[in-house]
Amino acid sequence: TRLAEGTPRRSIHLSNIVEQRIFNDNEIISTPKRTRSKLTDEVVDADYTPKKSIQKTPTRARRSSTTKQPSVTKQKEQAPLTPSQKLKKIRSGELSPSMVQREQPVDDRRKSQLQLAREQLHVSVVPKSLPCREKEFDNIYSFLEGKIQDQCGGCMYVSGVPGTGKTATVTGVIRTLQHLVEKDELPAFDFLEINGMRLTEPRQAYVQIYKQLTGKTVSWEHAHTLLEKRFTTPAPRRVTTVLLVDELDILCNRRQDVVYNLLDWPTKSAARLVVVTIANTMDLPERLLMGKVTSRLGLTRLTFQPYTHKQLQEIVTARLAGSEAFKGEAVQLVARKVAAVSGDARRALDICRRATEIADTADAQPGGIKCVTMLHVQQALAEMIASAKVQAIKNCSRLEQIFLQAVAAEVTRTGVEETTFMGVYTQIETIAAFMGVTLPAPGRALHLCSKLGAERLIISEHSRHDLYQKILLNVSADDIHYALRVEAN
């Protein structure tokens, strides 16, 4: 009935099988039809074992095309994978993910000195040896090398504020060790790496670890049992596994079963697992983790101090490596400013990069060579560190400015930080009368209030509280006075 009239006999059989199988899965076809086609199915089935993938194509278009084409096997080979087949391949690790390639490759030639410097200064360009982290490097290196040589398991906890080179140092150590393995100076080891922030929930850690071991994606329960089996049962010729756990605090849930397992496996003699954990806070084990987990984490700890201005300067000049794009004092200014705030290397590099951009757009100096000077760095610093609140207040409309003044006046009057809209409105009445402005109706003043609240110059409640909503000033009163007085002059 579904088939085209006048098709050859053979193809009728074929398509019957195909259809029958499809609908068997979906249970759409009525029973009598199914029994009838089952007969034919049994007859021809022996010849058509490779049709497995075609059964999985539930689209109507594909089905009709199979009826038209007599040779189904040929078509199957040419047909692109259906999404569910692809998913299966992705799960089994056969299909590697890829990005769309660009049509014109990036042209590396004819780059100016500034452009080269900018590329070198990008955070993603990690140098082979990290400057100013030699001591930490040695520390981690000797720990890991010792554990690999002795073929035992262990734990280490590395902490420090973001941007102090924790992950870069650890991966640098691993790279050096892998290099040694290639030269046969060290027994071979596996390296696995997970990041707490790249997981949707802590238990996905099992899935990611198992995936890096075998390439397959399975459910976390399954991955857990498989890993448990791998690490607890002794096996001869097992190589040491080094596991790097980044952002450890995200893996801590209430039950802490994931962290416990990750730190418990190294204690098993069969595991030969070395775990290096990285987090931001120094006292995370004591503050967040349970006693048994802290005890397993051990006391091999390392803290990365924030960079001082000398170190930051060294890092930047090492990146620039002989290039004359930067003036010496410009680098020093960046280093001193960043070291005073956070000691974050990423921040220093980003500011330097922004300075090169500013220098690029600025007019060429009389010498002809473009070079980053103090002025460019100062502009970059102003852009990236300074706050724009004063600027925002200056750019408010007149009534908005009056509103802000009124909030500040009400705070001074009552002496408490928190004011209500009604009090502010009385102040607006006063100020408007004093300045000779027409008074906005309360409804319009509420509009001003929510507009300032959206910008977060003030913090206000929902407008349904009407006259009784509470208002907090989110900028300092001095900022308001400064912005409005300077404008008046």
Name residues contacting other proteins, limited to 344-403 (CB under 8 A). 344, 346-347, 350-351, 353-354, 357, 361, 383-385, 387-389, 391-392, 394-400
340 contacts other proteins (rule: CB under 8 A): no
Distance CA 258, CA 285 (A): 14
Residues 223-254, buried b or exposed e (16+ Cβ, 10 A)? Answer: bbebbeebbeeeeeebebbbbbbbbbbbbbee
Q: Which residue has the tokens 């007599």?
A: 70
**124 touching other proteins, by CB under 8 A:** yes
The CB-of-122 to other proteins minimum distance in angstroms stands at 7
What are residue 396's DSSP bridge partners? none
Residues in region 233-252 near other proteins by CB under 8 A? 247, 250
Task: Decide whether 211 or 296 has the Cβ nearer to other proteins.
Answer: 211
Determine, following the binding rule CB under 8 A, whether residue 341 of this chain makes contact with other proteins. no
Q: Does 56 bind other proteins (CB under 8 A)?
A: no
Greatest alpha-carbon pair distance for the chain in Å reads 100
Name the residue nearer to other proteins (CB basis): 274 or 284.
284
Does 87 engage in binding with other proteins (CB under 8 A)?
A: yes
CA distances from 4 to 9, 10, 37, 297 (A): 11, 13, 17, 71
The length of the chain, given as a count of residues: 489
CA atoms within 13 A on the CB side of 317: 15
**Applying CB under 8 A, which part among 135-143, 155-163, 175-183, 318-326 lies near other proteins?**
155-163
154 DSSP β-pair partners: 274
Choices 11-19, 173-181, 191-199, 293-301 (CB under 8 A): range interacting with other proteins: 191-199
Residue 49 C-beta: closest distance to other proteins, Å: 27
Take residue 213 and report the two structure tokens written for it.
Answer: 């071991």
* Window 192-231: residues binding other proteins (CB under 8 A): 197-201, 204, 207-208, 211, 217
Judged by CB under 8 A, the residue of 97, 291, 368, 415 near other proteins is: 97
| Contact present, 244 and 250 (Cβ < 8 Å) | no
121 lies in the site for other proteins, by CB under 8 A: no
Give the range of 2-10, 82-90, 137-145, 176-184 binding other proteins by CB under 8 A.
82-90
Q: Is 43 in the site for other proteins (CB under 8 A)?
A: no
The CA distance from 380 to 363, in Å, is 16
Quote the least distance from Cβ 268 to other proteins, whole Å: 27
Region of residue 335 (phi > 0: left; psi between -120 and 50: alpha; otherwise: beta): alpha
What is the Cα–Cα distance from 451 to 477, expressed in whole angstroms? 19
Name which of 58 and 146 has its Cβ closer to other proteins.
58
* Nearer CB in complex with other proteins: 264/400: 400
Element housing 97 (H / E): none
Distance between CA atoms of residues 348 and 127, nearest Å: 16
Minimal distance, residue 387 CB to other proteins, in Å: 8
| Closest distance to other proteins from the beta carbon of 316 (Å) | 15
Size of the site for other proteins (CB under 8 A): 87
Binding residue (CB under 8 A) for other proteins from 116, 130, 161, 226: 161
Residue 62 makes contact with other proteins by CB under 8 A? no
Tokens of 425: 């409105």
- For residues 239 and 433, which CB has a smaller minimum distance to other proteins in the complex? 433
| Rounded-to-integer distance, Cα 267 and Cα 480, Å | 60
- Spell out the residues 6+ positions from residue 26 whose beta carbon is closer than 8 angstroms to its own: 58
- Decide: is 489 part of the binding site for other proteins (CB under 8 A): no
List of long-range contacts for 328-332, beta carbons under 8 Å, 24+ apart = 329/374, 330/355, 330/372, 330/373, 330/374, 330/376, 330/377
The site string for other proteins over 5-34 (x = CB under 8 A, - otherwise) reads ------------------------------
User: Of 3-11, 230-238, 253-261, 339-347, which segment contacts other proteins by CB under 8 A?
Assistant: 339-347
